[in-house]
Amino acid sequence: MDKILDQLNKEQRLAVEAVDGPVMVIAGAGSGKTRVLTFRVAHLLNLGADPFNILALTFTNKAAREMKERIIKLVGNADAKNVWMGTFHSIFARVLRSEAHRIGYPGNFTIYDTDDSKRLIKAIVKEQNLDDKIYTPNYVLGRISSAKSSLITAEAYNANEEILLQDKMAAKPQLGEIYQTYKNRCYRAAAMDFDDLLLNTYFLLKNFSDALIKYQKKFKFILVDEYQDTNHAQYMIIKQLAANDENICVVGDDAQSIYGFRGANIQNILNFKRDYPDAREFKLEQNYRSTKSIVKAANSIIVNNKDQIFKEIWTENEEGNLIQLVKSATDNEEGTMVANSIFETEMNRQLKHDAFAILYRTNAQSRSMEEALRRLNIPYRIYGGLSFYNRKEVKDLLAYYRLTINHKDEEALKRVINYPARGIGKTSMEKIIVVADQSKSSLWDVIEQPVKFALNLNSGTLNKISTFVTMIKSFRAQLITKNAFDLAKLIASSSGIMKDLYEDKTPEGISRYENIEELLNAIKEFSEKERELQEGEDVKADLPEFRTLDEFMQDIALITDADIQDKNATEKVSLMTIHAAKGLEFPYIFIVGMEENLFPSIQSLGSRSDLEEERRLFYVAITRAEKKVTISYAESRYRWGNLTICEPSRFIDEIDKQYLEFPRRAIINKPTQVKTQPQKPIIHIDKKLKKLNKSQNVYGSEAIPFDESVIEKIIPGIEVEHNRFGRGKVIGVEGAGASKKAAVFFKNIGQKQLLLKYAKLKILD
């Protein structure tokens, strides 16, 4: 018997041991979903399964990496590295690189990110003389992405009268033509966007029966994480691969299906048993993350949804705090309340900033939170901001790498052909594009053979283009003779990017140069890692002894914000939308902006399915918390420049009142004062707090060593010192034992109510 399974609870173990046939694991929030997936793979390996025959699909590279590391620790077998584990996009990109020739692509095709796609769409709209205010890149790309997620090709789109009528009714009749041109231009550039990786995989398996049989035999065990988040294309690919043996295990929680706007279809998980009538179902209902109050409150909310798989989540954790509800007069007051609460809780309980997260429905809500946190000098991190790999200077250098690997990558070529400036201007580039379009050739073909294509440019410009082409070809010639770092550094230097950035001595310029240095550091680290072989590869016979630049580019092509770690994240409060918070957990959670038409969103009120997704989003927000949840709403809020009167969200009424702390109003301008002292609005102490926070050996220092017996010696009238508030005088004491509190007046702060077991006050002589 596999002894590692002794670490699982009964239901987790049953789910892990059911290795044959279709299995659905409904995993409630905090119930050990990742644990089940990890142990299931480890169990398969211990039973003798070939790691190359196991396919495990996740939604982030970070999750896949962490799972693989855990599996290796569990089984102690290096072969575990060979499990096909990764995101849908990374796994199927890997398949397509082997099979691309079947669909007319080279194996070194480029993967366009969202910015590449938007730039291409913007160029197509301009070329077709369309109104860019009607055909915005965001809208057009969203429409194309939605079609691809539904497995609708450009040809099928333009042959569908109903779709074309919808576009016409929306005053965007040229969308189909843009989609077709976009598809053709991607093909010409040997590029696929994210959605193409799924669309092309589906048609590869559908149109080439030998490829389908090959991968059905290869992937004998299929595991899918977060199954409730799969879209139609992902669902159909999984169904194709599992059709032979039906040896498929899906893990997910219908109560956490929140990505309908991205094409996720909750019916995929709700109808799993219809697709696989013999499927066994296991429910993980024990929550290991949250307190009883949080778990029961969440249950009382989600029970209102009609479309769901019923489960009763429970926990053996402590009862914990009730859900706290706070109302504020304005959104700015709400921000101040949240910041003050974080500051005081940190002080009272000696907590770090990373214990707190502020969740909101829309990114725009972060402003008032940021301003309030800055006033108290509380560091924070916003998830979903500009990620490292989206910074201009990083994308510029990556474009050189892309062009080196794939000369036909037109977005990369357009980005760097005149950066750093080498005298190939906008007019010259427009002429090159026109010639390429007329001859149905790639931009690279035109600049590589200007005479053949009768490119009408002056000799000076042609010489500069020739020099550029020669430089890129020289980089390409070293692709398999230099390791990733050596070639990356050579390109950064020879292209002129490092020199251009080094000469900019402004703070912004220095920062950009440092970002290039950090990118090279990442490539250096990648170069030194051991290569993970694919099935059938022989490092001596088939591959270089070192990792190459094209391998690095494949590794980061599908990287997401969730995969990028902030080295300073442990020192910051987290701010993010609830969508971005899925999969994360924090001891203390603030859910702000709980108002009708904001949460639930006004766009969701037209249908029950949309409203139920909003309720699931609220459920996700609450279940991120380990110890305490604070829900806040404002009575008025500025939206689109207008002051709007708000009413509390209907979701607040759905919380069972026995788990809800009696609502109170946020008091931010009338702190409790000693009677002999004049009243000082709390807003006036911000500068003093900043000064205090920045003082040496006070803010951020270790707590003063303290004997708990001293609690009994704290009485009214004595002088004490707090490691962050400074010197103060005890003016009142109440309670006893672990609940004993003291009212202390601090010279710089004013009066504070402190729980003595956490405050660690030092009695002064």
350 given a catalytic annotation: no
Inter-residue contact 637 to 598 (CB < 8 Å) = yes
What 8-state DSSP symbol labels residue 3? G
540 given a catalytic annotation: no
Quick one: which H or E segment has residue 346?
helix 331-349
For residues 252 and 269, give the distance between their C-alpha atoms in angstroms, rounded to a whole number. 8
624 given a catalytic annotation: yes
Question: 667 is written with which tokens?
Answer: 């008091």
Counting DSSP H helices and E strands in the chain, the numbers are: 32, 21
534 given a catalytic annotation: no
Q: Which of 256, 286, 291, 630 is catalytic?
A: 256
CA distances from 352 to 10, 336, 347, 357 (A): 35, 19, 9, 12
Q: Which of 167, 195, 196, 225 is catalytic?
A: 225
Inter-residue contact 744 to 756 (CB < 8 Å) = no
Q: Which of 11, 12, 13, 33 is catalytic?
A: 33
Q: How many CB atoms lie within 10 A of CB 660?
A: 18
**Beta partners for 165?**
none
Peptide bond preceding 587: is omega within 30 degrees of 0, i.e. cis?
Answer: no
174 given a catalytic annotation: no
Those residues with Cβ within 8 angstroms of residue 537's Cβ, 6 or more apart along the chain or in another chain: 543
3-state secondary structure of 479: coil
Quickly tell me which residue has 């992937």 as its tokens: 219
Quickly tell me which residue has 């240095």 as its tokens: 517
Q: Which of 35, 40, 615, 624 is catalytic?
A: 624
256 given a catalytic annotation: yes
What 8-state DSSP symbol labels residue 228? G
3-state SS, 718-753, equals CEEEECCCEEEEEEEEECCHHHCEEEEEECCCEEEE
For residues 319 and 340, give the distance between their C-alpha atoms in angstroms, rounded to a whole number. 25
Q: Strand pairing of 719-722 and 762-763?
A: antiparallel
Q: State CA 144 to chain mean position distance.
A: 22
Question: 152 is written with which tokens?
Answer: 């609708």
Inter-residue contact 311 to 298 (CB < 8 Å) = no
For residues 110 and 412, give the distance between their C-alpha atoms in angstroms, rounded to a whole number. 10
Q: Which of 116, 167, 195, 226 is catalytic?
A: 226
Inter-residue contact 137 to 121 (CB < 8 Å) = yes
Helices 392-405 and 484-494: crossing angle, nearest 10°? 110
Q: Which of 34, 153, 216, 753 is catalytic?
A: 34
Those residues with Cβ within 8 angstroms of residue 42's Cβ, 6 or more apart along the chain or in another chain: 4, 71, 74, 75, 80
If 0-12 CB within 10 Å is exposed, 13-18 middle and 19+ buried, where does residue 632 land?
A: buried
Radius of gyration of the chain (CA): 29
Those residues with Cβ within 8 angstroms of residue 307's Cβ, 6 or more apart along the chain or in another chain: 254, 266, 270, 609, 612
If 0-12 CB within 10 Å is exposed, 13-18 middle and 19+ buried, where does residue 602 land?
A: exposed
Q: State CA 364 to chain mean position distance.
A: 18
For residues 337 and 415, give the distance between their C-alpha atoms in angstroms, rounded to a whole number. 46
Inter-residue contact 327 to 648 (CB < 8 Å) = yes
Question: 201 is written with which tokens?
Answer: 């995989």
For residues 649 and 599, give the distance between their C-alpha atoms in angstroms, rounded to a whole number. 6
Active site residues: 33-34, 225-226, 256, 624
